[in-house]
Amino acid sequence: MPELEQAEKVMFDHPDSALHLLESMEIPSSQTDKENHALWCLLVTQAQYKQVMKIPSDSLVRIAYDYYKPTDNARRKAMSALYMGDINYELRNIEEAMQYYLEGKTEVEKTDDYKTGYLVMISLCRLYLYRDFADYALEASRKAYDYAVKDSNKRYQLASLKYLARCYCISDSLSKAIDTYHKCSELTLELDLESYYYDIQSEIALVYMHKGDIKKSLEIIKSFPITYQRASLMGKNYYLLGQMDSAYFFLNKALKTDNIYTKVSAYQYLYKLGDIPKYRKYLKTYCDSLLFYNDSIIAIDKGKEIVAYKEKYDHQRLITEQQRLRLEKADAQRMMFIITICLIVVIAVVAYLYQKRLVRKETTIRKQSEQLQEYMLQLHEYETQLMQNNRYMEELKEQLSGQEMNSEELHEYREQIDSLQIENSRLSEKINSLQHHINDYSSKLDKARREADKFRNLSEENLYLKQRERVLTDYVVDNDRLVKELREKCRVLETGEWETLEQMCESTYSNFVSRLQGVCPTLTKQELHLCMLIKLRFNNAQMSEIFGVNTTSVSQKKFRLKKHLSDTLQDGLPDEMTLDRWVAEF
């Protein structure tokens, strides 16, 4: 809706205008227009939270949260989880707030919404920091600063650096804390935030005091205008320097506050001043006040401590659950990988058996065709000879009937005729036998041809199976964790990662590395790595990043490897055959 689009457009710079626009528009129906209704609920909550308005419950933003959760809209899911977390944090539902923040962190990583990413991570950092989860807070503040830099938002950078410095203080990395605070100060000057600048400088002075550089700490505080000088910090510094009158003055001045933690801190030092005779008359008053405020703080801290322990337990439970899910996913991927490899092997074996049977059938058909052709030639010869004998017999009979012959000649003619008849009889038997063989072979050949057609069809199916095998192999390779990571962003590999790639090439490409070493035992480790990357379909630019060299060096490596193979292989490599093609077909 146009009103929602306009409200979201002005939300970060003018949340009051956005809220006015949202409240003055007609509310989308929760029945007929669920999408716009959910967005309206989310934007109203966002505008109210940005104006620091008191939000009594999470019922409004929960409508948006429940609507977006089953969808693929990662940005909206992250935003609704963020404000669910913020409202529950304000309502002191710390466990629920942490769960929503972690959901928002997972979803925002799928987007390029750096503002929401910063807000989620800084909220997590604040939650961790004030509950003494120093390591988690440090990680969250770094991530928040990264989002702020990507968003080019210097106010976000300023806030995240401040939290990062506090994390360093808790981790006792005071030098890093001071450096980070100085970066904060530079940003406050750049943004012309005078009050914020003196707040940061006060925290720097506090860090110097804890480092033991009291003079440096006091020097920083005294350089401030009087309005921004912190009486409590100045009083402590004077006490540590042994200037008790100044310490007494500023510590009493620090008591004019509503912050009980500041009062307790001031009373502790005033109580220590009671050891000096001049101030001993105030000792009882300071002692009573210190006990009173200490009891209040103990009551508050005890509640916080219970909440903190519960949060640590819940946080660790969440981490354990995530680890379990990752292990289950890894097991499923491993099982899928094994099943795919088994399927590829089965397809390869079936294809080989079909191919072998087809070749055997074609050989049988060829031999039977040759035998049939030979029988046909013999049949032709016998028939020709039989025809000549019959013609000759006719001629003899004509001569016998047309001439008068003596008994000796007549006997001779009759013997020739009888001989021809006997030979014709023998030829007829042979012809009949050959005809029988020819008919037999013809029927067999027809059957063989039919089987050959059948096997030819199987051969085509075999080609299809090989294509499927290639597709499955590519799928296995492309879904491998390491290969997928390298395709997204190449980097120099470690020894263990090279071994992982080698094992995958061995299992996926039918002992590729072993066969390669078999045909060329003199290949170096680096040449084997080059062949593996070519087989895995990495281009020269990607290989240059993996080897840590320029693309020209990769081309030279390929040229030298082709020459090495040409010199080593029995038939060599043809000039027209490229190294990439040879490795891909090997």
pLDDT of residue 482: 83
Of 92-106, 397-411, 491-505, the least confident: 397-411
Q: Would the pLDDT of 243 be above 80?
A: yes
Q: Would the pLDDT of 306 be above 60?
A: no
Mean pLDDT of the chain: 80
The more confidently predicted of residues 378 and 396 is 378
Q: Would the pLDDT of 304 be above 50?
A: yes
pLDDT of residue 452: 43
283 class by beta-carbon count within 10 Å (0-12 exposed, 13-18 middle, 19+ buried)? middle
User: Which phi and psi (to 5°) does residue 575 adopt?
Assistant: -60, -35
Q: What is the pLDDT of residues 521-572, one digit of tens each?
A: 888 888 888 888 888 878 888 888 888 888 888 888 888 888 888 888 777 7
The more confidently predicted of residues 197 and 363 is 197
pLDDT of residue 142: 92
Q: Would the pLDDT of 220 be above 60?
A: yes
Q: Would the pLDDT of 448 be above 90?
A: no
Q: Would the pLDDT of 454 be above 60?
A: no
Per-residue pLDDT band for 422 (boundaries 50, 70, 90) equals: confident
Quickly tell me which residue has 């490899």 as its tokens.
341
How long is the chain?
Answer: 586
Q: Which of 507, 493, 584 is nearest to 546 (CA)?
A: 493
Question: What radius of gyration do the chain's Cα atoms show?
Answer: 47
Q: Would the pLDDT of 199 be above 70?
A: yes
Question: Mean pLDDT across the stretch 295-322?
Answer: 63
The more confidently predicted of residues 518 and 570 is 518
Question: Mean pLDDT across the stretch 438-455?
Answer: 58
pTM of the model: 0.49
Q: Would the pLDDT of 146 be above 90?
A: yes
Q: Would the pLDDT of 475 be above 90?
A: no
State how far the alpha carbon of 211 is from the alpha carbons of 76, 201, 302, 538, 567, in Å. 45, 15, 29, 53, 70
Of 125-134, 473-482, 516-525, the least confident: 473-482
Of 273-277, 385-389, 478-482, the least confident: 385-389
Quickly tell me which residue has 């990439």 as its tokens.
580
Q: What is the pLDDT of residues 2-57, one digit of tens each?
A: 888 888 888 888 889 988 888 888 888 888 888 888 999 988 998 988 888 888 88
Maximum Cα interatomic distance, the chain, rounded to a whole number of Å: 183
Q: Would the pLDDT of 328 be above 50?
A: yes
Domains belonging to the chain, first-starting first, are: 1-111 (1.25.40), 315-477 (1.10.287.1700), 481-585 (no CATH)
Out of 307-321, 373-387, 416-430, 449-463, the most confident range is 416-430
d(CA 323, CA 309): 21
pLDDT of residue 455: 46
The more confidently predicted of residues 198 and 314 is 198
* Helix-then-strand count for the chain, H and E: 24, 0
Q: Would the pLDDT of 456 be above 50?
A: no
pLDDT of residue 117: 93
The more confidently predicted of residues 84 and 493 is 84
Q: What is the pLDDT of residues 356-391, one digit of tens each?
A: 887 887 787 777 777 766 777 676 677 666 776 676
- What's the one-letter identity of residue 316? Q
Query: Other CB atoms closer than 10 Å to residue 440's CB: what's the count?
Result: 13
Out of 209-213, 276-280, 508-512, the most confident range is 209-213
d(CA 454, CA 444): 15
Q: Would the pLDDT of 88 be above 70?
A: yes
pLDDT of residue 403: 53
Q: How many CA atoms lie within 13 A of 240 on its CB side?
A: 18
Question: Mean pLDDT across the stretch 415-432?
Answer: 76
Structure tokens belonging to residue 375:
């029988």
State how far the alpha carbon of 411 is from the alpha carbons of 36, 400, 407, 416, 422, in Å. 124, 10, 6, 9, 16
Please answer whether residues 239 and 231 qualify as being in contact, where contact means their C-beta atoms are separated by less than 8 angstroms. Answer: no
User: Which phi and psi (to 5°) does residue 488 adopt?
Assistant: -75, -40
